[in-house]
Amino acid sequence: MSHWDVLCPGHFFMKEELNLNDLIKLQHKLLPDLIPVIQKRFRILQYIRIMQPIGRRNLSTSVGITERVLRSEVSLLKEQHLINVNASGMSLTDEGLDLLQKLEQPMRELFGLKTMEEQLKEQFNLKEVVVVSGDTDEFSWVKKEIGRATVSCINDLLQANNIVAVTGGSTLAAVAEMMNADSKELMPLFVPARGGLGEDVGNQANTICAKMAERAKGNYRLLHMPDQLSKEAYSTMMEEPYVKEVLNLIRSSSIVVHGIGEAFTMAKRRKTSESNLEKLKEGNAVGEAFGYYFDEEGEVVHRVRTIGLQLEELNGIPYILSVAGGSSKAKAIRSFLKEGHSTILITDEGAAKELIKGI
């Protein structure tokens, strides 16, 4: 039995004259009832790769299928030498990883992700769009898939001694977790694109910056100060030599990797005053990035005095990677994309579908 038959048992066998994409297209037309089976097994392998080693109960909950159904799926995947099962949990074998990598592009076409990418790329005038399968709002592991896709994009863009500026947030924390060193030993320098928000330390730009540098075998500089300051404190800090030095590095970035937040979620995290909250409501704010709040048309309705990268400074940076997912974030993502500074969008299927509805 071929590995293809693990995903689609008892039907097509692989022929030399058909490549995998052709085979999947035929499968889709003639046996559409098997598509859910393909999707289920593919996502099981995806999740094991992200979380290995992982136990059956955790896997069952994460991919949304019962333990009884999962038991038979695990048994089949083990028989085909695609996964290992031991006391510590399940993990992919080399054969399983190889199969998963070979299936990724055909699966993207099968699930319509390539079509979504082209639609979004054209609509928002972007250089590139990457859509990963799933919805972060439904399955938390999808955020790690977004992280993995972002790391792949960063590694493709990196050149020797590039400066990479990163913001904070849980999505960027997932990017840092998935970061790995490129074999070319490019020694990138990572810098935080802003100060801290007083949030969970693991989600702060400084922490994410340091972790990315460590995993990428690069260097980093930190910005030890709050994200927003009073007018007097802001003026004072901007005269500090170390702050000036780090800000100059940030403005010299070749790549900026940033998240996009929902307006009122970010306002809450910043402990925004009642008067400014009222301003956000009156302006119908839906999204936030770099301390700027946007309405659905991409117009800035409010900005916070922040230490770090400013919106107008993005114009001179070659690659702006906007990284965000979840169907609930679609309005926030659209608001920033309409603003026009993003060059590359990395998102998930849930957000992409909602974004396309608005086209």
Instruction: Using alpha carbons, list the distances in angstroms from residue 218 to 162, 214, 246.
Output: 10, 6, 16
Query: The pTM is what?
Result: 0.85
How confident is residue 104, by pLDDT bands cut at 50, 70 and 90? confident
Residues 359 and 355: their CA atoms lie apart, in Å, by 7
Residue with tokens 């909602």: 354
* Percent of residues, the chain, with pLDDT higher than 70: 87
The reply to whether 140 and 198 lie within a common domain is: yes
**3-class SS shares of the chain: helix, strand, coil, % to 5:** 50, 15, 30
The reply to whether 65 and 133 lie within a common domain is: no
Higher pLDDT, 184 or 256: 256
pLDDT tens by residue, 294-349: 999 999 999 987 788 889 999 889 999 999 999 999 999 999 999 888 899 999 99
Q: What is the pLDDT of residue 240?
A: 82
Pick the last residue of a domain from 68, 85, 110. Answer: 110
pLDDT tens by residue, 272-289: 889 999 999 999 999 999
Pick the last residue of a domain from 95, 110, 125. Answer: 110
The reply to whether 282 and 293 lie within a common domain is: yes
Q: What is the pLDDT of residue 15?
A: 43
Higher pLDDT, 309 or 199: 309
Q: What is the mean pLDDT of residues 249-268?
A: 94
Higher pLDDT, 226 or 124: 124
Cβ neighbours of residue 182 under 8 Å, at least 6 residues apart? 155, 158, 216
CATH number at residue 99: 1.10.10.10
Mean pLDDT over each residue of the chain, to the nearest integer: 86
The reply to whether 82 and 50 lie within a common domain is: yes
Q: What is the pLDDT of residue 96?
A: 92
Confirm if 150 and 240 have CB atoms less than 8 A apart: no
Higher pLDDT, 95 or 233: 95
Q: What is the pLDDT of residue 7?
A: 56
Phi-psi domain of 53 (left: phi exceeds 0; alpha: psi -120 through 50; beta: other): beta
pLDDT tens by residue, 322-336: 999 999 999 999 999
Checking if the pLDDT of 56 tops 90, the result is no
Q: What is the pLDDT of residue 156?
A: 92
The reply to whether 234 and 331 lie within a common domain is: yes
The reply to whether 173 and 279 lie within a common domain is: yes
Instruction: Using alpha carbons, list the distances in angstroms from residue 48 to 52, 63, 216, 325.
Output: 5, 10, 23, 20
DSSP per-residue string spanning 203-269: GSHHHHHHHHHHHHT-EE----SBSB--HHHHHHHTT-HHHHHHHHHHHT-SEEEEE-EEHHHHHHH
Residue with tokens 């949304």: 64
Pick the last residue of a domain from 110, 143, 169. Answer: 110
The reply to whether 200 and 87 lie within a common domain is: no
Q: What is the pLDDT of residue 292?
A: 93
Residues 349 and 359: their CA atoms lie apart, in Å, by 15
pLDDT tens by residue, 1-45: 555 555 555 444 444 445 666 666 666 666 667 778 888 888 899
Identify residue 119 by its one-letter amino acid code: Q
Q: What is the mean pLDDT of residues 208-221?
A: 93
The reply to whether 100 and 234 lie within a common domain is: no
**Closest Cα partner for 193 from 218, 168, 160?**
168
Question: Which of 17-31, 221-235, 253-267, 271-285 is least confident?
Answer: 17-31
Q: What is the pLDDT of residue 62?
A: 80
Query: Domain tally for the chain?
Result: 2
The reply to whether 52 and 194 lie within a common domain is: no
Checking if the pLDDT of 209 tops 50, the result is yes
Residues 11 and 22: their CA atoms lie apart, in Å, by 15
Q: What is the pLDDT of residue 350?
A: 95
Checking if the pLDDT of 136 tops 90, the result is yes
CATH number at residue 118: 3.40.50.1360
Domain holding 57, by residue range, is 3-110
Q: What is the pLDDT of residue 253?
A: 95
Q: What is the pLDDT of residue 173?
A: 95
Q: What is the pLDDT of residue 6?
A: 55
Q: What is the pLDDT of residue 14?
A: 43
The reply to whether 106 and 155 lie within a common domain is: no
The reply to whether 70 and 159 lie within a common domain is: no
Q: What is the pLDDT of residue 10?
A: 47
The reply to whether 228 and 329 lie within a common domain is: yes
